[in-house]
Structure 1
Amino acid sequence: MTQEELAGELNVTRQALSNWERDVNEPDLNMLKKNLLSFWSQHGRFCEGACAGVTQAAKTPEPL
C-alpha cells in the first residue's frame, strides 16, 4: 500500500501522513481512532493472520 493510498483510507492528506512518519506533528487521536476502526472493519480479514503473528511474537520473549 502506498502512502497516498493509506492517506486516502484514513481520510487525511499524504502530506499529513508524511508529517506523522517524520515526527513533524502528531495526528488527532480521536480522528485517528475513528478512521482506524473504519479501516480495520474494511481490511480486518486481510490483516488477521499477519496481525496474529505479530501479536504472538510480541508475547513471546526472546531467550537470554
Structure 2
Amino acid sequence: MTNKRTTRTARKHERKKQKKSLWKRIALAFATILSLIVLGVIGTFIYFIATAPELDISKIDVAYSSKFYDKD
C-alpha cells in the first residue's frame, strides 16, 4: 500500500509534465497536416508519372511550320 502513494511534489511534477503549451500543440498539428499534404502531392505526381503514356516522336512532330504574326 505504501508503494502506491506518491508525494505531493511528485504528483505536482507529473501534472506539469502532462500539460503542453497550446502553441506547441497548434504547431505540431500544423506540421502534421502540412506533412500529409506534401506526401499526398508527391504521391499524386508519382502516380501521374507512372501512368503517363509513352512519348512517340511521330505524334509530336508537326508537318507544317509555325507562323508568327507581328504588329510591326
Q: TM-score, normalised by structure 1?
A: 0.27
Greater gyration radius: 2
Q: TM-score, normalised by structure 2?
A: 0.25
> Which structure exhibits the higher relative contact order, with contacts defined as CA atoms closer than 8 Å and separated by 6 or more residues?
1
